[in-house]
Amino acid sequence: MQQRRIGSFSVSALGLGCMNLSHAYGTPPAPEAATALLLRALEHGINFFDTAALYGFGANESLLGRVLKPYRRQVVLASKCGMTGVDGRRVIDGRPEVLKRTCEDSLQRLQTDVIDLYYLHRWDKKVPIEDSIGALADLVNAGKIRSIGLSEVSAPMLRRAHAVHPIAALQTEYSLWTRNPEIAVLEACRELDVTFVAFSPLARGFLTCTLRDPELQLEAKDIRRQMPRFEAANYAKNLELLAEYYRIADEITCTPAQLALAWLLAKGEYIIPIFGTRQAEHLDDNVGSVAVKLDRSVVERLDTLINQQTVTGPRYNAATQQEIDTETFRIAA
């Protein structure tokens, strides 16, 4: 497995996003299946694992704590605070005392003395970012966390946070069909020497050749049912992009999923995609992307084929968009 850098850590070029083992994508897999998947990722050389207090309202951290404890010195463990489950509801709360309490709870569930990378999951717009980052800086000084990350924030917010304490990583969605980081955040990360962690690199299944009809294939509680791009009319138009996409994958003899991940890996050494999966065969397939080398002409063809102008539907619905701070493309009148 190739290596890339986050702060002082050397991590696998691909990380494993663990959310869907406990949260948001319908019925979670059985504990035995989730355990087997995590161990298989380790066998492939993946040493960067991403979780959050929110995922399964603590269940995902408990899963990783139980499975990864024997391998703790071999892995880089990332979790998140600032968005948690309270009385069965998702709550965004960036107050310093809440972040510190969440960290203590996460340390217990993860069965570790220190979290390697601790993200502010969402910026609580009622709390100055400086106050939230100040609390995380206190946790660094106390030896509870080793480095600080941000999730779903804009370039100006990254700079404000970085002025309080060095930010090791910024995480947001980035794939061929979600190009918002290209507006300003990628440049800010390069400027400040911040690693960019790309979640949902496979476009939430769109680029894997496995999701043809969301209405029939997605469970009732799958979060994609609330996303405009997966609505029937929009998704039908988006599917029209895939014929040429599959042709490109065939030309370079890789799978569609490998092509999506290879595109991200080719975008810069400071970018680390974290994919999520529940199936061993998909894990094996995704790991194969590190061997796929794309020349500039292929990257340009993909850039032209699937982008913010050719994809139909916004990334999030209006209510969710209000909760995040990422830049958005202007919609032509």
* Amino acid code (one letter) for 56: G
Which residue's entry shows tokens 């083992």?
21
Instruction: Specify which residues 327 forms β-bridges with.
Output: none
Compute φ and ψ for 316, nearest 5 degrees: -125, 160
Q: Residue 294 gets which letter from DSSP? A: -
CB-count exposure of residue 151 (10 Å: 0-12, 13-18, 19+):
buried
CA distance 315 to 100: 31
Between CA 207 and CA 242 the distance in angstroms is 8
Residues 6+ apart with CB under 8 A from 104: 144
Q: Which two tokens stand for residue 48?
A: 């960067």
Residue 46, judged by CB atoms within 10 A of its CB (0-12, 13-18, 19+), counts as buried
Residue at token pair 């986050």 = 6
From 25, 55, 118, 235, active-site residue: 55
Q: N- to C-terminal Cα distance for the chain?
A: 46
Q: Rounded to whole angstroms, how far apart are CA atoms 3 and 255?
A: 22
Strand-pairing partners, residue 78, are: 50, 117
Q: Please, are residues 106 and 50 in contact by the beta-carbon 8 Å criterion?
A: no
Q: Has 270 been annotated as catalytic?
A: no
How far is it, in rounded angstroms, from Cα 48 to Cα 272?
10
Number of Cβ atoms within 10 Å of the Cβ of 32: 8
Contact 103, 77 (CB under 8 A): no
For the annotated catalytic residues, the residue numbers are: 55
